[in-house]
Amino acid sequence: VFKGRMSDMRAVEDWGCTVSVFERGLAEPLSCSGTLLDSRSGIVLCHSLVFSAFLNKSINISDYRVLFPDSFSSRLHVYVQRPEELKSVDNTKQQSHVMRQCLGKAKQTVSKPSPQKAELLMLVSNPQFQKAFTRLFNKPDEWRFCSNTGDIDLDDLKKDTEFLSWFAVLKVPGLLGRGQRALPWVSSSSLKKGDVVFACGSPFGSFCPDLFMNTLSKGIVSNVAGESRALILTDARCLPGTEGGGLFLDKGGRFCLAGLIVSPLCWRAGEWIGLTLVCSLESVVRNIWFVNKGDPCLNWILSDTPSHFVQDLPVTGEAKSVRQHPTVALVQSGELWGSGVLMNSRMMLTCRHVVNGASRVVVKINNKERLLTAVGNVVYSTKDSSPYDVAVVLLAEPLPSTTVPAVARDFRAGRVDVYVTGYGVFGQSCGPSVTSGILSRIIACDFQPAMLQTTCAVQAGASGGAVIRAATGELLGLVSSNTRDCAAGVTYSHLNFSVPVTVLSPLLRQYALTGDSGVFEELDRASDAVRAAWRLQGSHGLIPRSKL
C-alpha cells in the first residue's frame, strides 16, 4: 500500500512542467509553471501573466473573452519543459542551438536538456474568477501579489495587465504520442474546507529546473468563493514561479486536479498572509468550452462529461473535524472586526482588543449560506495590563445551529495536527477561513499551560478565532495574535499565540453556576511568569528586551 501511494505521488509530479516565454533578442525569458492535461494531445495549461508583456499595444483585453496568437508579438517563442526532458539528453545539442539562436546568446552550455517548442493556441478569460477576485480584494487593504515576474499590486493588475484571471492553452507537438493518459480532475463543488490538497509547481519557473521543477507542497482548502467556487484559497505554501501549477485532491487514493495556482498571496498592508490563490480547473474548462467548441485538440476538455472527470469517489484525508468545529463568529466593534468562538448559543469568547473597549458588539455567523446577526453585550474584558487578551460576550438572543465545542483537557506539542479557523483575510465576504499546522510549543507557567504556539497561518481578523485539534475537533485555545518583528517591520503569520482553553474553562463553569462576571478577574491576577511569557520576554533577568 505504501509503495502504491508513493507511485501516485510520483504521478502527480509527472503532470507538472515549466513554461518559458520570450521574444527574439530578449535577454532572459519570462517563465512560470504549467500543467499537462493530456499526454495524448500534448495540451498544457498555464497562467497568462507571463504573456502580458508580449500583447500587441492595440489590444484592450477587457473587450475580449479569448485571445489568439495574432494578438501577440510575431516574434513570440514558447517552450515547455517536463521532468522526463531532465532525464534525457538525446536532442540536447540541436535544441540548445535553437535556444541559443532565439535568445541571441554567443555561448550556450549543452549539458542541460532544453525545453520542447510549444504552440500557443489561445488565452481564455475567467469572468467568474475575476468577479470573485474583485469582490474580495480591494485597494484600501493594500494588497500585493507575488509572481515570477515581480511583485504586483492591485493597480498593476487593473491598469497595466488585467491578466490575473486569464489562462493560456498550449500544445506541445514534441509530447505527442508519449502516453495515452488524460489527467483526472474534480469539480470544485466537491471541495470542502479542510480537505487535504497538494500543490505541484516549480519555484522560480524555469530557473534551475533540475533542482526546483515540480516541487510539492501540502496544505488544506482554506476557503472557496465565487460562482461555482471559482476562487480557492489554500495554505499549501507556494513560491513565485509556481503560477500555473496544479492543486491536487486525493479522491479515493487517486490524485485529481482541482485547480491552477494563480499567485502566492504576498502582503496585505505590510502583513505576510501565508496563503495561495487558486482558480478552479472546472471554471477554466467551462470557459474554454464556451469560447471554442470546434478544435479537435481540445475535444477531451470540451466534452460535457469527459471520461476522466472524477466526482463520486470519496475524498481521502478530508477533515471531518472542520465540519464539526466550534461555531466561529465575526465580531464587529465600530469599524474594527475580529473573530469569536461561541461556547453555546448565547455565550462567546473573543479578544479584548477585538471589542476595543466597547460595551456592545455586533456578532455575525454564516449559517447555510445565510448571514445571521445578533447584538452582544460585553460581560467582561480583561484589563490592558492583563497578559490574557480575553473578552466574554453574552448575546441578547441565542443564535441557532450553534455547535457547542468539545473542550480539550490536555495538549501535546509537535504530534498534534491543528486547525485555526477565523475571519482573517476577507472578513465576512466568504465566511471563516481555515489554516492547518501543528501545535509547535506549549509554554507552561506554574506547572500549567499559559500559552500555545501553532504553525497555522494567522492573519489580522483571526484574533478571537479557534484553535482546534484536527483529529477530533476539540477546542484547544483562543487565538490572540501572530508575531511582529518591530525592528524589521515584518509580521510572521506562521508564528502565533493562543490562550489555552484550560485557562478559561474553570472560569466559564463558575460563571455558568453563579452568573457573577467577577470570576474572570482571575485572568487579571496572572503571575509574573505568565506576564513575562505573554510579553515574549522570557523569565531570565539578563535577557534583553524582546523586539517582538
pLDDT tens track for 62-96: 889 999 999 999 889 999 998 875 554 444 444 44
Confirm whether 105 is domain-assigned.
no
Whether residue 154 sits in one domain with residue 257: yes
Q: How far apart are CA 198 and CA 11, in angstroms?
A: 12
pLDDT higher than threshold 60 for residue 241: yes
Residue 407 in this model has a pLDDT that exceeds 80: yes
Q: Each residue of 358-371: pLDDT tens digit?
A: 999 999 998 766 78
pTM comes to 0.85
Q: Which among 83, 31, 78 is positioned nearest to 213, based on CA atoms?
A: 83
295 and 339: one domain?
no
CATH for 444: 2.40.10.120
Output the pLDDT for position 85: 59
Annotation marks residue 389 as catalytic: yes
For residues 445 and 524, membership in a common domain is answered with yes
What are φ and ψ of residue 4, in 5° steps? -65, -45
Burial of 487 (0-12, 13-18, 19+ CB in 10 A): exposed
Percentage of the chain modeled with pLDDT above 70: 79
CA count, 13 A, side-chain hemisphere, 548 = 16
Catalytic pick among 14, 195, 235, 389: 389
State whether 367 and 495 are in the same domain: yes
381 is catalytic: no
**Do 271 and 371 lie in a common domain?**
no
User: Are residues 392 and 257 located together in one domain of the fold?
Assistant: no
- Where is the domain boundary, 244, 270, 303? 303
pLDDT for 97 beyond 60:
no
pLDDT score recorded for residue 369 = 67
Give yes or no for residue 534 having a pLDDT over 60: yes
Q: What is the pLDDT of residue 111?
A: 42
- pLDDT tens for residues 189-198? 888 899 999 9
| Residues spanned by the domain of 337 | 328-535
89 in a domain, yes or no? Answer: no
Q: Which amino acid is at 414?
A: G
List C-alpha distances in Å: 91 to 14, 34, 110, 111, 358: 20, 22, 10, 11, 71
Report the pLDDT averaged over residues 275-299: 80
pLDDT band at 156 (very low <50, low <70, confident <90, very high): low
Query: What does DSSP say about strands 276-280 and 271-272: parallel, antiparallel, or unpaired?
Result: unpaired
Active-site option among 353, 436, 480, 481: 353
Burial classification of residue 444, based on how many CB atoms lie within 10 Å of its CB (0-12 exposed, 13-18 middle, 19 or more buried): middle
| Residue the block writes with cell 515549466 | 18
User: Lowest-confidence range among 156-165, 231-240, 324-333, 356-365?
Assistant: 156-165
Query: Rounded mean pLDDT of 453-465?
Result: 93
The pLDDT-based confidence of 135 (bands split at 50, 70, 90) is confident
Q: Are residues 388 and 519 in the same domain?
A: yes
Q: Which whole number is the average pLDDT over 478-492?
A: 82
Contact, 315 vs 250, CB < 8 A? Answer: yes
Residue found by looking up cell 483575510 in the block = 425
Model pLDDT, residue 101: 42
Question: Has residue 97 been placed in a domain?
Answer: no
Does residue 476 sit in helix, strand or coil? strand
Same domain, 267 and 402: no
Provide the strand spans (E) within 137-253: 143-145, 152-153, 166-171, 196-201, 215-225, 231-234, 246-251
- Which residues, at least 6 apart from 223, have a Cβ–Cβ distance to it below 8 Å? 193, 232, 233, 425, 426, 430, 431, 432, 433, 434
| pLDDT at residue number 317 | 63
Asked if 278 contacts 260 with a C-beta cutoff of 8 angstroms, the reply is yes
126 in a structural domain: yes
| Residue 94 placed within a domain | no
For position 178, what pLDDT does the model report? 56
Of the spans 76-90, 314-328, 409-423, 504-518, which averages the highest pLDDT? 504-518
For residues 469 and 317, the model is more confident at 469
Whether 101 is in a domain gets the answer no
Tell me how crowded residue 134 is: count the other CB atoms within 10 A of its CB: 15
Domain count for the chain, please give it. Answer: 2
Q: Is residue 318 domain-resident? A: no
Active-site residue flag, 160:
no
Tens of pLDDT, residue by residue over 330-359, are 999 988 899 999 999 999 999 999 999 999
Per-position DSSP letters for 124-149, written without gaps between them: EE-HHHHHHHHHH--GGG-EEE--TT
Task: Give percent above pLDDT 90 in the chain.
Answer: 49
548 within domain boundaries:
no
148 and 236 inside one domain: yes
Residue 410, pLDDT > 80, answer: yes
pLDDT at 378: 98
DSSP 355: H
Same domain membership, residue 423 and residue 332:
yes
pLDDT of residue 314: 66
Give me the chain's average pLDDT, please: 82
**Composition of the chain by helix, strand, coil, percent to 5:** 25, 35, 40
Query: What is the per-residue pLDDT across 1-33, written as a single tens digit (0 to 9) for each?
Result: 233 344 456 677 778 899 999 887 665 789 999
**Looking at per-residue confidence, does 383 or 298 come out higher?**
383
39 and 168 share one domain: yes
Q: For residue 209, what pLDDT is reported?
A: 83
> Residue 366: in which H helix or E strand, if any?
strand 360-367
Q: Please pick, among 20, 463, 481, 498, the residue that the annotation labels catalytic.
A: 463
Same domain flag for 160 and 297: yes
Whether residue 306 has pLDDT greater than 50: no
> What pLDDT was estimated at residue 296?
56
Closest Cα to residue 348, out of 356, 340, 359? Answer: 340
Residue 509 has pLDDT above 80, yes or no: yes
Q: Is the pLDDT confidence value at 414 over 50?
A: yes
Residue of 157 and 450 predicted with greater confidence: 450
pLDDT-wise least confident of 57-66, 355-364, 522-531: 57-66
